[in-house]
Amino acid sequence: MQLTSPQENFKMLKGKKIVLGVTGSIAAYKAALLVRMLIKEGAEVKVIMTSAAKDFISPLTLATLSKHPVLIDVFKEDTWANHVMLGRWADMMLVAPLSCNTLAKMAVGICDNLLLAVYLSAACPVMLAPAMDEDMWKHASTTENRNKINSFGNMLLPVNNGELASGLIGEGRMAEPEEILRWLLDYFYKKNELSGKNVLITAGPTYEHIDPVRYIGNYSSGKMGIALAEEAVNRGANVTLVLGPTFEPVPNGIDVIRVKSATEMFEQCTARFSKINIAILSAAVADYAPVKVAKEKIKKTEDHFELGLQKTPDILKTLGSLKKAGQFLVGFALETNNEKENALKKLKQKNADIIVLNSLADKGSGFGHNSNKITIFDNNGKELAFELKPKKQVAKDIIDTIISYTHE
């Protein structure tokens, strides 16, 4: 009779197959700890290294820890590393660290080493942990490459802020192995939490036309709503994203309906709400729109110009009035003063289940930023405050909170 230790029963990644890609970055030394942690949790790990990665960590070290030969070259003497089968073998391809160079190559489809060949033929999800100096991380070309990578449906983990290889302090540090492990566990064990649920999300601004060339709008980028849509899809939901004007990329797997005005967004939301389980209204919808839209460009002929405005349809209030048992409604409140008071008032008046408050008074939070700081309120007086985080992590917090209410 074979006995199993208690620890064996609690290996969270037991049976999972992970391809770990290691690229040329000073953070490559952390791959050794990451492999050990993955093995300890029961995963089978096969390591692929780029040639540059060998300058930072020995292939022998990773081969010893993973108990598999480390793969580097597509061809080696008379053998061939089957990149297609590696991509099909894995339950997850994890690249940690992801250098700026490899990120750029992935974004444009370059295939000049084994790691990139496996990436391009991978049939499994791909998780990427970038590592580079802050100036490289924030460069316009890197930002564009990150957006492309996200648009392909890859999971690009947030970088940390701290001491860098250059000696500077800033963004660009690779997520710690413990953090990467938590992301993996979140993916494998949370991806089915919203299976079968229909989720409606609004995001971005609305534009209310004054004439053919002018409009009333706001600074919303849609980043928060898009992050929420991505997270909901990762949890197994069927997601419809009603998206206002924005140039932000949207990951694959999301049904996107693009609109411009508050009225268009209202019509799309109300038409679909009866079949929705969860509605998250994160869009920055204009409160007022011109009474009359000029057919021609308005000329600057008068010293003073008056523009008549009328209220736009209240999407949150309308959905709150239509809400039935089993539907869960989430509102957002961006405030500049009396934040809590105004958020609670909106929660009650609009018949939402929870309200997500963020304030422009919080540095790094709100429109255009990649980070956000939120507080969530419910109708029972519960208040959940979160620290400033990247919007993708904020999206996780919001979805976790929604699940905690809907799965009670």
Q: Is pLDDT above 80 for 181?
A: yes
- Exposure on the CB side of residue 370, measured as CA atoms within 13 A: 10
How much is the pLDDT for 131? 94
Which secondary structure element, helix H or strand E, spans residue 81, and what is its range?
A: none
Q: What does the pLDDT look like over 203-213, one tens digit per residue?
A: 999 999 999 99
- Is 198-288+307-406 the same fold as 13-190? yes
Q: Is pLDDT above 70 for 103?
A: yes
Q: Is pLDDT above 50 for 255?
A: yes
Which secondary structure element, helix H or strand E, spans residue 334, and what is its range?
A: strand 328-335
Q: How confident is the model at residue 65 (pLDDT cuts 50, 70, 90)?
A: very high
Q: What does the pLDDT look like over 29-61, one tens digit per residue?
A: 999 999 999 999 999 999 999 999 999 999 999
Mean pLDDT, the chain, whole residue set: 90
List, as own/partner pairs, every contact residues 350-353 make where C-beta atoms lie below 8 angstroms and the sequence separation is at least 24, other chains included: 350/314, 350/316, 350/317, 350/320, 351/317, 351/320, 351/321, 351/323, 352/316, 352/320, 353/328, 353/329, 353/378, 353/379, 353/405
Catalytic hit among 82, 147, 198, 218: 218
In 10 A of CB 163, how many CB atoms? 11
Q: What is the CATH number of domain 198-288+307-406?
A: 3.40.50.10300
203 strand-pairing partners: 243
Q: Determine the Cα–Cα distance for residues 345 and 349; give it in Å rounded to an integer.
A: 6
Residue with tokens 């994203």: 241
- Exposure on the CB side of residue 369, measured as CA atoms within 13 A: 17
How much is the pLDDT for 1? 34
Query: What are the residue ranges spanned by the domains of the chain?
Result: 13-190, 198-288+307-406
Residues 6+ apart with CB under 8 A from 253: 153, 233, 239
Q: What does the pLDDT look like over 329-343, one tens digit per residue?
A: 999 998 888 999 999
Give the DSSP per-residue string, 294-309.
-SSPPP--SS-----E
Task: Please indicate, yes or no, whether the overall pTM of this predicted structure exceeds 0.85.
Answer: no
| 160-163/169-173 β-pairing | antiparallel
Q: What is the CATH number of domain 13-190?
A: 3.40.50.1950
Q: Is 342 a catalytic residue?
A: no
